[in-house]
């Protein structure tokens, strides 16, 4: 096919018209481009467009704004596949961080460099956690992949965008003496059972606050992790973080005793509240049966840390403490993985690699004694 550009005698610029097959309705489709200064420039652009048409990568120019695409197309399409808590997190990140930054920018004008600058902005200016920044990066990558599939843009600028390394928060754990000291200090607190659950089962905060009495089998001495509480404490989610998070944990005798004690307390509160009681069958709840707000748990936690005079750590570090103490006492990493509900044993080994040298040394020593006795 002969490529030919035409000169507009009125403006002195060059233009071209090429055939691009047929549209969805079977009508002939043409692509027009005007305003080229020279014939050479017009022919160069024509060759580029014809190649895109031939490779089915041609994208019709649009003025679609990135924020409109996110809110009106990408996010609604994810609602059916994401867990409710994840959907709300993504929506919050879009409204509070992505939209304000990209504002009214058109999708096709957002470059790889622009996305990299946004990642740097997140790291240096927002003070967001490592997890939040990673969530936002997932939104950016996934949304541009979708935009390419829907022919809004020809190229995905996010695919080559380098993300700066987010400083990993250092894991802080208690030793056995500190755990004992804290539990002793917390023994008379009304939320003692929550801390005892955390330090004997390694359960996540969201799992502890969603634990129901029907999830506990006192005869077998086990509990089953089956649901979670949202971060804002308003929604009980009938699902766990991942498939592997749905698990069964064997209870220590002290915990069984304290759970039965808590059950008696809950029954008394239910009777006292009468018709005002909202029965969610929760082990840990307010005096009216409603889910406990996670912030209230944390307030008690940090107050008790000060009272016990132990190092300040995050509530999530109680989970790390359980795993570290177990591994340091030669409990099989596979068992630890199952107790914590990790999806893969590699997650367990990578997360607690700092404990493994101690475990290896102890194992070698014990094996040596088994073979040769104490020398």
- Count of domains forming the chain: 3
pLDDT: which is higher, 208 or 12 = 208
Angle between helices 316-328 and 192-201 (to 10 degrees): 40
Q: Looking at the domain assignment, is residue 259 inside a domain?
A: yes
**Terminus-to-terminus CA distance in the chain, angstroms?**
90
86 plus 47 within the same structural domain: no
Q: Could you tell me how many helices (H) and strands (E) the chain has, helices first?
A: 16, 8
CA distance linking residue 148 with residue 48, whole number of Å: 18
91 plus 187 within the same structural domain: no
120 plus 221 within the same structural domain: no
Q: Looking at the domain assignment, is residue 374 inside a domain?
A: no
State the residue range of the domain holding 128. 66-149
86 plus 181 within the same structural domain: no
Residue 365's pLDDT is 63
The mean of the pLDDT values for the chain is 84
35 plus 119 within the same structural domain: no
Mean pLDDT, to the nearest integer, of 58-71? Answer: 79
3-state secondary structure 199-245: HHHCCCHHHHCCCEHHHEECCCCEEEECCEECCCCCCEECCCCCHHH
Is the pLDDT reported for residue 261 higher than 90?
A: yes
CA distance linking residue 154 with residue 255, whole number of Å: 59
Cα torsion 281, 285, 289, 291: sign: negative
Token pair 């990993």: residue? 168
Q: What is the pLDDT of residues 90-123, one digit of tens each?
A: 888 898 889 889 988 888 888 888 888 898 888 8
pLDDT: which is higher, 41 or 286 = 286
43 plus 72 within the same structural domain: no
């Amino acid at each position: 096919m002969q490529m030919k550009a035409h000169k507009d005698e009125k403006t002195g610029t060059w233009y071209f018209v090429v055939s691009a097959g047929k549209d969805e309705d079977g009508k002939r489709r043409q692509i027009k481009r005007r305003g080229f200064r020279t014939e050479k420039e017009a022919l160069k652009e024509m060759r580029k467009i014809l190649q895109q048409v031939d490779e089915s990568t041609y994208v019709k120019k649009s003025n679609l704004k990135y924020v409109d695409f996110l809110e009106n197309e990408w996010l609604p399409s994810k609602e059916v596949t994401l867990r409710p808590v994840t959907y709300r997190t993504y929506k919050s990140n879009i409204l509070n961080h992505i939209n304000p930054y990209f504002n009214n920018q058109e999708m096709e004008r957002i470059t790889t460099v622009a996305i990299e600058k946004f990642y740097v902005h997140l790291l240096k200016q927002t003070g967001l956690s490592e997890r939040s920044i990673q969530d936002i990066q997932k939104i950016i990558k996934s949304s541009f992949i979708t935009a390419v599939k829907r022919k809004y843009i020809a190229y995905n600028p996010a695919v080559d965008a380098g993300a700066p390394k987010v400083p990993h928060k250092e894991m802080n754990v208690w030793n056995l003496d500190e755990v004992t000291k804290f539990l002793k200090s917390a023994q008379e607190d009304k939320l003692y059972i929550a801390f005892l659950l955390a330090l004997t089962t390694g359960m996540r905060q969201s799992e502890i606050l969603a634990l129901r009495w029907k999830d506990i089998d006192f005869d077998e001495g086990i509990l089953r992790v089956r649901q979670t509480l949202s971060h804002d404490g308003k929604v009980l989610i009938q699902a766990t973080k991942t498939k592997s998070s749905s698990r069964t944990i064997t209870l220590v005798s002290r915990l069984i005793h304290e759970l039965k004690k808590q059950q008696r307390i809950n029954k008394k509160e239910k009777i006292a509240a009468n018709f005002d009681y909202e029965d969610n069958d929760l082990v840990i709840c307010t005096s009216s049966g409603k889910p406990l707000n996670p912030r209230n748990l944390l307030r008690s936690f940090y107050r008790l840390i000060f009272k016990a005079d132990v190092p300040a750590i995050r509530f999530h570090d109680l989970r790390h403490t359980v795993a570290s103490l177990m591994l340091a006492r030669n409990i099989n990493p596979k068992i630890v993985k199952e107790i914590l509900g990790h999806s893969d044993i590699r997650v367990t080994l990578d997360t607690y690699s700092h404990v493994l040298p101690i475990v290896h040394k102890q194992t070698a020593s014990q094996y040596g004694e088994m073979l040769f006795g104490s020398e």
